A = this chain, B = another copy of it.
Amino acid sequence: MTVESTIIRIATDAKSASGQIAKCSSDKKNKVLLQLSDKIKKEAQYLKNENRNDLLYAKEKGLSDAMIDRLKLTDSTVESMAGGLKDVAKLDDPVGAICKTTIRPNGLEVSRMRIPLGVIGIIYESRPNVTIDAAGLCIKSGNAVILRGGSEAFHSNQALANLVSETLFEAGLPKSTVQVVPVREREAVNILLSQDELIDLVIPRGGEGLIRFVAENSKIPVLKHYKGVCHVYVDKNADINMAKKICFNAKVQRPGVCNAMETMLVDSAIADDFLPEIAKLFSDAGVEIRGCPKTCKVLPEAKAALDSDWGYEYLDLIVSVMIVDGMEQAMAHIAQYGSNHTEAIITSDYARSRRFLREVDASVVLVNASTRFNDGGQLGLGAEMGISTSKLHAFGPMGLEELTTTKFVVCGDGQIRE
């Protein structure tokens, strides 16, 4: 079988399975998720054995220790995958929910009913836990899913796919509800991305290179974010202690993720008071500061920022700092260098807090809270499939509801159009 025929068969099977999983009751979907959770724990040794093949291959290929670490399945990662499925089982099922019901003057009852999207393709890099997270969210939201993980995690993903298939089969659901692409060839991705008659949505997860590749080569709609260049603007009316706490958290708590702060914008009126204090905290935590000329005057120990530092996603213990003359300049900087991901203001001024929320163009805009809250779990979505910085369909973290759409359902008693 060629790669092309394999992918077309998978996509065709997924399309046909999508009709069945769409109709599946919440009870049954939850039972599948819990059974899969149990099976993953029971088969931990099998998963770790298969994972070992990937680790050997990764070492041969000379992958970095950090990448090998992300790839490795341990008792704790297995436990966390199993726990994640239990969490998803507890979430409300969006499918079938009726909303926005209105009665028209002619008596027609018009509502919207939430329905699955159909077939979702996920293209992601090494971490094998994404396989189970994505499978769980798609099953719960009534979608069929095709998973294409990184080639480094090939054996781990196939092993996880086997457990999912078994569970679906035992529950009387089509195995092809969840499929992992069973070939390593890179051309599989291009072929997958051209199945726009069979696949309804593609979500790439990984580095900017992967995401750009998917966005540029897909005939299917793509939900994505390229990167998170998040700013915190410390207004002149900020509470300095609060600003310190939030900026420190936004930068240091987990610097390698997309919702970490990359640039701090500080109002000139508060810079002399605020900067030395936050700089001390940053210095103790090993954070390198790259400042604009004014910042370097206040903080002689700071490195001078280059033009290329503005709008740069460090994903590391580095922060760029700019002193700005008021909120206007801060918002202009964000408009120019931000990535529509997450932006925050620290202020005790009512009017500026409201204006920042209204006018800043980002999927999550915060007042007096850390950028690290741009996360489906933290914002109350329960779990997330990624974050979208494109505005169509979903803007921000995507939970179960964002994996669905609504159709109009209309109940009449004989109405005709006059």
Give me the interface of A with B, judged by CB distance under 8 Å: 19, 23, 96, 102, 104, 108, 110, 113, 115, 117-118, 200-201, 221, 239, 242, 245-246, 248-250, 253, 335, 353, 357-359, 361-370, 372-374, 378-380, 390-393, 395-397, 405-417
Contact = CB atoms under 8 A, between A and B. Distances in A.
Q: How many copies does the complex hold?
A: 2
Given A113-B358, A378-B417, A367 B96 contact: no
Given A221-B390, A363-B408, 6 more contacts: A117-B391, A200-B391, A246-B414, A249-B416, A362-B407, A368-B414
Contacts of A369: 108, 410-412, 414-416
A383 to B, nearest CB: 15
B414 A239 contact: yes
Those 7 A-B pairs whose CB atoms lie nearest each other, nearest first: A369-B412, A249-B416, A372-B417, A393-B393, A366-B410, A364-B408, A242-B414
Contact of A391 (B248, B374, B380, B405): B405
Contacts of A396: 406-408
A5 B250 CA distance: 42
Which secondary structure dominates where chain A touches chain B?
Answer: mixed
Contacts of A250: 416
A368 B413 contact: yes
Nearest to A335: B19
Contacts of A353: 411
A130 B327 CA distance: 40
Contact of A378 (B104, B358, B363, B370): B104
